[in-house]
Amino acid sequence: MKSNELRFREVSENADSQLVKIEINHLIPLPSPYDKPQVSAWRELDTDQHRRLVCNLDGFIAAGLPVPQDAKEEQKYIDQFIIGLKKLLSRESNWTFLQPLLLSLDFCARCQTCSESCHIYLASGRNPLYRPSFRSEIFRRLVDRYARKGGALLFKIRGGAIDLNWTTISRLYELSYRCNLCRRCAQACPMGVDNALITRELRKLFSQELGWAPQELHEKGTQLQLKVGSPTGMKPKVVKDNLDFLDKDFSEVTGLNIATPWDKSGADVLLLPGAGDILSFPESIMAFSILCNAAGINWTLSSEAPGYDGVNYGLFYDDLQFIKIALQHARIAKKLGVKKIVMGECGHQHKAMMAVADRILTGELNIPRESSMTFLENLVFSGRIKFDPERNNFPVTLHDPCNIVRNLGIVEPQRRVLRYLCPQFREMNPHGVENYCCGGGGGLSLLSMANFTNWKVNISGRLKFKQILEAFSDQPEPSVKKYLCAPCLNCKLQFRDLLEYYGAKEKSGIYFGGLAELIVNAMVDLKNPFITWGEY
């Protein structure tokens, strides 16, 4: 099959074969020294994975759907899918996104302007499977056929050509996890149609009706957070112990007296961090602690589950899980009587609490919420802490997390900080609201089943990696240490995988971290540099 000749009917055919094959040589080239494709690191699925899991899409597995036992089970899921389609169009079951969904379904001009803006489609060498419009169009035709009055006629007029069978729904399910939900396609669409929204609605249908969702987002994500407090599995006592240890450790290293406050009633600020930072990037949470204490901010963390973990993976795939977690976060803040909630450096958390959940936080739950970008900017320019920008005199570029920048319009505060504190700050191109996703958005940075990391680092993260290299192209040698500022936990997880895979530290001297760490690194009061250029 030629890469530009994928027909819609093929989605329903050849159940046991892969729909497309991704050739590493078709991907867009990267600059030297990454221009030779790393074929040895391109992992194929093994026999056991082929036996246990549905592997009929593109040779990768993100969602990990088990092979059904028999035709009866397949039919059960098909029937549920049809019921789910109807529920998505109903007010009582889907008022949350009904208007945007109907508008996006009915007014696509099918002009493919969206595809030209999609980093995944472009990076793959324009593989038609990854067009934002491809999965949307399949979904649209199925909605026409099974969920609308006069469906059969509408189906024919609007293209038809898709059978609804096990093959179709299993491929659609996996395909719904080939999108970062970054909404660059929606931004480009002259109509305003939102393919990322359609993808999310697809994921929602599978989760809320069929009970299908990647375990990293569901069982080990939202369910674990609702059960114990955090997808990391950390319960309140463990979190407090961990932070206590970090406080002592970093106090020793920095010469500052770091003490994280817990459960202060009536504090001005409740910081809602990503608990994943505590385990994976502890310098991030410590940096916040140092800055808040140094600036004399009356702040607190919450030890009540899930108040110490601001993530909300429901944003990626399930409205009901989303609402449960968002309401809990707000209730905890209300109980503490804080004046405002400040989001940690976590993109989807920003979008979840500052925008999407805004309309369900009614009455007393409507506690003011502020971005850490704004909070940190105010802190830096308040005059309460002395900084020496020369301490950050190394190349720095900024990755714009989609959920903070494109989805919320928070663009400049972090840039004002970087322009002040980083003499060698340079932008990527494009940047700001037109940035490219890191490749881990939409929850994908959390998915690591089988060979999916291969897909993320080679395809969804490819354009971003190219951007990073181009931003540092004036000083490419590894001896010059370069800092990729990524103020988002999930983006950092993706960058860890991406930069490790390509050996970017060894070959190009590229490191990554958040914004708070850069700010602390410039503090005059610090004995030693905060940024240690260590292991990822």
Give the footprint of another protein on residues 405-444 (CB under 8 A). Answer: 405-413, 432-433
Q: How many residues bind another protein (CB under 8 A)?
A: 106
Interaction between residue 82 and another protein (CB under 8 A): no
What's the Cα-to-Cα distance from 227 to each of 208, 216, 298, 331, rounded to whole Å? Answer: 18, 15, 30, 16
Interaction between residue 227 and another protein (CB under 8 A): yes
Three-state DSSP at 17 gives: coil
Q: Could you give the CA distance from residue 247 to residue 251 in angstroms, rounded to a whole number?
A: 6
Which stretch, 88-96, 293-301, 516-524, 527-535, contacts another protein (CB under 8 A)?
88-96
Minimum distance from CB of 498 to another protein (Å)? 25
Q: Could you give the CA distance from residue 147 to residue 164 in angstroms, rounded to a whole number?
A: 13
Interaction between residue 158 and another protein (CB under 8 A): yes
Interface pick for another protein out of 22, 210, 450, 523 (rule CB under 8 A) = 210
Q: Could you give the CA distance from residue 222 to residue 325 in angstroms, rounded to a whole number?
A: 8
What's the token pair of residue 150?
Answer: 């006069």
Minimum distance from CB of 483 to another protein (Å)? 23
Minimum distance from CB of 8 to another protein (Å)? 7
Interaction between residue 149 and another protein (CB under 8 A): no
Q: Residue 377 in contact with residue 413, Cβ under 8 Å?
A: yes
Sign of CA dihedral 229, 531, 427, 501: negative
Interface pick for another protein out of 38, 49, 165, 223 (rule CB under 8 A) = 223
| Nearest alpha-carbon partner for 489 in 381, 421, 367, 403 | 403
Q: Residue 515 in contact with residue 376, Cβ under 8 Å?
A: yes
386: phi > 0 → left, psi -120 to 50 → alpha, else beta; which?
Answer: beta
Minimum distance from CB of 270 to another protein (Å)? 14
Interaction between residue 133 and another protein (CB under 8 A): yes
Which stretch, 252-260, 294-302, 374-382, 453-461, contacts another protein (CB under 8 A)?
374-382
| Helix, strand, coil abundance in the chain, percent, nearest 5 | 50, 5, 40
Interaction between residue 93 and another protein (CB under 8 A): yes
User: How big is the CA angle at 19 (ends 18 and 21), to the nearest 5 degrees?
Assistant: 70
Q: Residue 387 in contact with residue 380, Cβ under 8 Å?
A: yes
Minimum distance from CB of 196 to another protein (Å)? 9
| Nearest alpha-carbon partner for 508 in 484, 532, 491, 488 | 484
State which residue, 234 or 504, has the beta carbon closest to another protein.
234
What part of residues 309-368 is at the interface with another protein (CB under 8 A)?
Answer: 318, 320-321, 323-324, 326-328, 340, 354-363, 366, 368
Q: Could you give the CA distance from residue 405 to residue 433 in angstroms, rounded to a whole number?
A: 6
Which stretch, 59-67, 87-95, 494-502, 517-525, contacts another protein (CB under 8 A)?
87-95
What's the token pair of residue 409?
Answer: 């319009």
Minimum distance from CB of 395 to another protein (Å)? 23
Binding mask 16-55 for another protein (x = CB under 8 A): ----------------------------------------
Sign of CA dihedral 494, 500, 504, 505: positive
State which residue, 103 or 279, has the beta carbon closest to another protein.
103
State which residue, 169 or 286, has the beta carbon closest to another protein.
169
Which stretch, 24-32, 202-210, 253-261, 457-465, contacts another protein (CB under 8 A)?
202-210
State which residue, 28 or 98, has the beta carbon closest to another protein.
98
What's the token pair of residue 55?
Answer: 């592997």
State which residue, 121 or 511, has the beta carbon closest to another protein.
121
State which residue, 96 or 280, has the beta carbon closest to another protein.
96
Interface pick for another protein out of 170, 176, 208, 521 (rule CB under 8 A) = 208
State which residue, 90 or 393, has the beta carbon closest to another protein.
90
Q: Residue 485 in contact with residue 501, Cβ under 8 Å?
A: no
Binding mask 245-284 for another protein (x = CB under 8 A): ----------------------------------------
Q: Could you give the CA distance from residue 494 to residue 22 in angstroms, rounded to a whole number?
A: 21
Interface pick for another protein out of 15, 82, 228, 279 (rule CB under 8 A) = 228
Interface pick for another protein out of 209, 277, 309, 517 (rule CB under 8 A) = 209
Which strand ranges, in their side-by-side order, compose the sheet holding 340-343? 299-300, 269-272, 340-343, 369-370
Question: Which H helix or E strand runs over 485?
Answer: strand 482-485
State which residue, 236 or 509, has the beta carbon closest to another protein.
236
State which residue, 142 or 469, has the beta carbon closest to another protein.
142
- Counted residue by residue, the chain has a size of 536
State which residue, 38 or 96, has the beta carbon closest to another protein.
96
Q: Residue 390 in contact with residue 352, Cβ under 8 Å?
A: no
State which residue, 431 or 492, has the beta carbon closest to another protein.
431
What part of residues 99-128 is at the interface with another protein (CB under 8 A)?
Answer: 99-100, 102-104, 106-117, 128
* Cβ neighbours of residue 237 closer than 8 Å, sequence gap 6 or more: none
